[in-house]
Amino acid sequence: MTTTEPNTAGRAIDPTSAVDHGTGAGDFAHEPTTVLITGANRGIGLTTARRLGELGWRVLLGARDAGRGEAAAADLAAAGLDVSALTLDVTSQDSVLAAVERVRAHHDHLDVLINNAGVLGATGDPARTIAADFIAPYGVNVLGPVRVTQAFLPLLRAARRPRVVMVSSSLGSITVTSDPQRMEHTTQELVYTSSKAALNMMTTQYARAIEQVQFNLVDPGYTETDMSPQGTQTVMEGTDAIVAAAQVGPGVTGTFTDRFGVVPW
């Protein structure tokens, strides 16, 4: 697959605009905001954990591998941040339910859930893609956010103003990928693109169905991580939209943004 650089020149916005609060002041008086980030032991998830920790938030650093999660959380905790590891494999119902119980043992609510864990999967010529190619990537990118969101809904509903951030991609936008002016247009691939398009639809459905929770989608942009070693943005830039969406003001739900503004569907 040719993963491509979004054509975003000249669209810069302040990623902290429309932000409700930028300090550690929590959604409950005298309590920090509690956030769970899936797939946070490296890449975009790890930098998101650090940035939200630096705001004074209490960060639950999700990782499917306990050792990798503990190591990443220990690094951030050593820097004085309130970060603890939470073992959570988004493809395993048992793992997710065990994570819910561990969170419930220490917290009576969850303010923000960031469904960040994702995989590229095998990519290639659509004409040669077979049905089996979809199974593993869909398990992480599509079923994972459903499994985690559904399991954590009771803790989210116990928060004063719960928010869910879904980490999508401009490669899941039919408008962007159909536009010959956009670099994403050169990507011809079935699995990853359609998994993020499915995530987009699921999220707008959640947003309309569950009014108590704010559900928003973000595109990090083409970011240099293990997933995209040729990415043209720094991982700091790649987390701007997530950090903003985690702090979005009351009433904002069902949106799709990147660090420059609105992403078309």
Q: Which residues are catalytic?
A: 192, 196
Q: Is 32 an interacting residue with respect to ligand NAP (CB under 6 A)?
A: no
Q: Is 142 in the site for ligand NAP (CB under 6 A)?
A: no
Q: How far is the CB of 49 from ligand NAP (least distance, A)?
A: 10
Q: How far apart are alpha carbons 168 and 118 in whole angstroms?
A: 9
Residue type, 113: L
Q: What is the total residue count of the chain?
A: 265
Quick one: CA dihedral 164, 170, 176, 178, positive or negative?
A: negative
Nearer to ligand NAP, 26 or 45 (CB): 45
Closest CB to ligand NAP among residues 111, 258: 258
Q: Which of 202, 197, 200, 211 is nearest to 251 (CA)?
A: 211
Among 26, 32, 45, 121, binds ligand NAP (CB under 6 A): 45
Q: Which of residues 167-226 bind ligand NAP (CB under 6 A)?
A: 167, 169, 219-220, 222-223, 225-226
- The angle at the Cα of 264, spanning 259 to 265, to the nearest 5 degrees, equals 120
Is residue 228 close enough to count as binding ligand NAP by CB under 6 A? yes
CB contact set of 211 (below 8 Å; sequence gap of 6+): 253
Which of residues 140 and 198 has its CB atom nearest to ligand NAP in the complex? 140
**Helix or strand or coil: residue 37?**
strand
Tell me how far, at minimum, the Cβ of 67 lies from ligand NAP, in Å.
Answer: 10
- Minimum separation from the CB atom of position 199 to ligand NAP (A): 9
H helix intervals, 123-260? 135-141, 143-157, 174-177, 191-209, 235-238, 240-246
Could you give the angle at the alpha carbon of 23 between the alpha carbons of 21 and 27, nearest 5°? 60
Applying CB under 6 A, which of residues 15, 32, 39, 162 lies at the interface with ligand NAP?
A: 39
- Contact status: 100 vs ligand NAP (CB under 6 A): no
Least separation in angstroms between CB 218 and ligand NAP: 9
**Distance from C-alpha of 104 to C-alpha of 95, rounded to nearest angstrom:** 14
Tell me whether residue 32 or residue 173 sits nearer to ligand NAP (CB atom): 173
- The site for ligand NAP, by CB under 6 A, has a size of 29
Beta strands in the chain (DSSP E): 34-37, 58-63, 83-87, 112-115, 163-167, 214-218, 256-258, 261-262
- For residue 43, state whether it binds ligand NAP (rule: CB under 6 A): yes
- Within residues 49-78, the interface with ligand NAP by CB under 6 A covers 64-65, 68
**Residue ranges that bind ligand NAP, judged by CB under 6 A:** 38-39, 41-45, 64-65, 68, 89-91, 116-119, 140, 167, 169, 219-220, 222-223, 225-228, 231
